[in-house]
Amino acid sequence: MVLEFEEEILELQPDSKGDNIAVLIKLKSNSNTQKAVMYIHGYTDYFFQDHLASWYVENGFDFYALELRKYGRSIMPHQRPNHIRKVDEYYEEISKSIHLIKNRDGHDFLLINGHSTGGLVACMYANFGKRKHEINALFLNSPFLEFNIPDWQLRLMPRIAKIGHVFPEWIAPLGGKGVYTQSIHKDHWGRWDFSTKLKPVSGFRMYFGWFRAIHEAQKTIQTQSNIDCPILVFHSDKTSYKKNRDPEIFESDVVLNVKHIKQYSATLGKIVTLMEIPKATHDVFLSKDEVQKVAFAHLRTWLSAVLQGI
């Protein structure tokens, strides 16, 4: 079945490089619902998970996906894809989207579904954003709450952040083979179809200013988070550091350290439910079918409990 998504361009304030936009994607449920979900993608990412949108509308939610400035359909020709200097730059498009979903489109209940870096951004907004009190629940799919690097390198992150403060446009000498992207894309080892222009196999260039922005947001969330609404966190049962096509990479998180997710998710807010999904990949909903089935069942049960508690 072909899904009929709508796209809406959100005009944003320009920055030092020029104009900015974000794109809000919508799939309407067949039911006359007042429930909505807004999906926020990860880093080097954009929305392509149509089956996730289908699941939400089948379960009575109007589905929205927000492609943040400089990501996916929001990338403009003059921009450095995915690059920011502060995470709170994203608050403008999140606030606009919440206003449209709740006030213009008339939804009483809003779930924010953040994946990876989108999970970090969602946590920051749920703590400090202008419309944070209009978020009714938060669902985090493998949130990026710490860099997946050895402890000795983590201790160097404050110094890297200082470089990012002074020289934010310096290109960070990092790169990889894109094991995760290869593991999920149909032209490599996976089964999912998405644009490698918008989600390149080896990622976009990283800048020291981006590292500073993410590091500062992570430290804030690790020490100051106090989110009011109910939170559900999904994560795999293990992390893999394989760098080639090994069966393990299709049943583990090859991007983030699961221990970090469990450690820092536990203190995100007042009501947190952590759910380990065995054999899940980094994006739990790009896992094998049997793993997704388990994840969707847990999500349905949690959402039912949250909605009954309102």
Tens-digit pLDDT profile for residues 105-149? 999 999 999 999 999 999 999 999 999 999 999 999 999 999 999
Q: Please give the average per-residue pLDDT across 241-268, as a whole number.
A: 97
User: Which pLDDT score is estimated for 41?
Assistant: 98
CB 168 within 8 A of CB 209: yes
Mean pLDDT over the full length of the chain: 96
Q: Please give the average per-residue pLDDT across 176-196, as a whole number.
A: 94
Hey, what domains does the chain have and what are their CATH numbers? Answer: 6-148+216-308 (3.40.50.1820)
User: Which pLDDT score is estimated for 173?
Assistant: 78
User: Which pLDDT score is estimated for 136?
Assistant: 98
3-state secondary structure of 269: strand
Query: Measured between alpha carbons, how far is 200 from 299 in angstroms, rounded to an integer?
Result: 29
User: Which pLDDT score is estimated for 172?
Assistant: 86
Report angle CA 67, 68, 71 to the nearest 5 degrees: 75
Query: Measured between alpha carbons, how far is 126 from 146 in angstroms, rounded to an integer?
Result: 18
3-state secondary structure of 299: helix
User: Which pLDDT score is estimated for 100?
Assistant: 98
pLDDT surpassing 90 at residue 309 = no
With tokens 């009483």, the residue in question is 108
Three-state helix/strand/coil letters over 97-149: HHHHHHHHCCCCEEEEEEECHHHHHHHHHHHHCCCHHHCCEEEEECCCCCCCC
pLDDT surpassing 70 at residue 255 = yes
Tens-digit pLDDT profile for residues 224-252? 999 999 999 999 999 999 989 999 999 99
User: Which pLDDT score is estimated for 6?
Assistant: 97
Q: Pairing relation of β-strands 18-27 and 62-67?
A: antiparallel
Tens-digit pLDDT profile for residues 31-77? 899 999 999 999 999 999 999 999 999 999 999 999 999 999 999 99
User: Which pLDDT score is estimated for 1?
Assistant: 64
Give the pLDDT band of residue 176 (cuts 50, 70, 90).
Answer: low
Looking at the DSSP bridge assignments, the partners of residue 8 are 24
Neighbouring C-alpha atoms within 13 Å toward the C-beta of 16:
6
Residues 6+ apart with CB under 8 A from 296: 55, 285
Could you say which DSSP state residue 246 is in? -
Instruction: At 157, list the tokens.
Output: 């992150």
Q: Which residue in 39, 26, 40 sits closest to 105, CA to CA?
A: 26
Tens-digit pLDDT profile for residues 199-228? 999 999 999 999 999 999 999 999 999 999
Instruction: At 148, list the tokens.
Output: 């997946």
Could you say which DSSP state residue 173 is in? S
Query: Measured between alpha carbons, how far is 132 from 7 in angstroms, rounded to an integer?
Result: 24
User: Which pLDDT score is estimated for 230?
Assistant: 98
**More confident site: 297 or 177:** 297
Give the pLDDT band of residue 152 (cuts 50, 70, 90).
Answer: very high
